[in-house]
Amino acid sequence: MMFKRLKTASFIEILLHLLFWAFITLLPILIRPVNPGFRMLFSPWRFLFINLLLAVQFYLNAFLLIPRFLNQQNKPWLYFTLLAVCFVVIDLCIVHTQPVFPKRGFPLGPPPLMAHFNLLPLTAITAAAFAYRYLADRFRQINNSRDITNSALVSELAFLRSQISPHFIFNVINSIVALSRLNPPAVEPTLMQLSQLLRYMLYITDEEKVTLQQKSDYLRSYIDLQKLRFEDQVKANFIFDIASPEQTIEPMLLIPFVENAFKYGTGDIINPVITGHLKADSKSLSFNVSNTYNPNDMPTDGHHGIGLNNVKRRLDLLYPGKHNLVIDQTADNYTVNLQIQFI
């Protein structure tokens, strides 16, 4: 992707250079005077030759003199010496290629000042080379800074994705340990369900994106696992409304909210209820999870928020300005509302 972007940028830059030199070459030719004497002075071949010399001055200054003697070696005295030499050589070439007029003099008076005085166009083209070199270096710095930032964000995102899977397995193992004490016969089907989830994590979460169909299947498997564990102790009701199952999304992005709902929405709670609704199409996604909880059971250590902080940061990286996460916590109810815009 980066190579393609650079290739396109280089093509556009070359095209702009060609259009620029074509414009300054053709414009004087098209508006040259009708008088034969002036037409000799303003001949197309002469303008082509002069512009070739100016182009040499421009590119020599922009790609050799400024980068090497000013930017790299920091020798302004040597730069201005070489620049003066270029001025003299190009000026002599222009003067000695001027057309020779009859000794009787120029019919309409002396030739225009520009025919004998070449300092102005040379100075202008040198200033243009300075401006071009500055802008090119500036854009290169901006692109390099953006690439470094993007690389850092990609690295951070990869770390966050690698962190969420162990965090999920940690929670599931804790659930199975608790289940082995409360309902030993349910351990075997629970382990089979865990095997399916691990298979998903092994083959799917390494992908950059997963489809909404895969995402909903995974959430259903996790919810079924939790129902095996809690049986009728928890009322869990989740609705999946997927209009565009092929739409893609980052893997392991929604599961932390469901994990927290079962983790903190069960236990010492009277008639615990967990509800959820996932609605998505090709343009947007809406995800809602709500659970009752006991404020006295909320942990006070600093490790319980790994999954939630992780998903918040990933949302900031993946959908900047295109998502809205609202968490509403009352005395006995905890609700998460997530909106994501795909387009």
- Tell me, yes or no, whether 124 lies in a domain: no
- b/e map of 93-121 (b: 16 or more CB within 10 Å)? ebeeeeeeeeeeeeeeeeeeeebeebeeb
pLDDT band, very low/low/confident/very high, at 247 (cuts 50, 70, 90): very high
DSSP annotation string for 108-147: TSSPPGGGT--HHHHHHHHHHHHHHHHHHHHHHHHHHHHH
The pTM for the full model equals 0.53
What domain count does the chain have? Answer: 2
**115 pLDDT above the threshold of 50:** no
Last residue of a domain, one of 117, 135, 161: 117
For position 337, what pLDDT does the model report? 96
Q: What is the 3-state secondary structure (H, E, C) of 65-92?
A: HHHHHHHHCCCHHHHHHHHHHHHHHHHH
Same domain membership, residue 261 and residue 188: yes
Q: What pLDDT does 287 receive?
A: 96
pLDDT at 321 over 80: yes
Do 10 and 158 belong to one domain? no
Q: Is the pLDDT of residue 299 over 70?
A: no
Identify whether 326 is part of a domain: yes
Structural domain range at position 112: 2-117
pLDDT tens across 24-41, in order?
766 666 655 555 555 555
pLDDT tens-digit readout, 123-145:
888 888 888 888 888 877 777 66
Question: Does 300 lie in the same domain as 164?
Answer: yes
pLDDT at 239: 94
Residues in a beta bridge with 278 = 240, 287
Tokens of 225: 């696992």
Which of 117, 135, 168 is where one domain is finished? 117
Asked if the structure places residue 240 within a domain, the reply is: yes
What pLDDT score does 2 carry?
Answer: 42
Q: What is the pLDDT of residue 150?
A: 60
Identify whether residues 55 and 175 lie together within a single domain: no
Tell me: do 103 and 177 sit in the same domain.
no
In this structure, the answer to whether residues 162 and 65 fall within a common structural domain is: no
User: How large is the average pLDDT for residues 247-266?
Assistant: 85
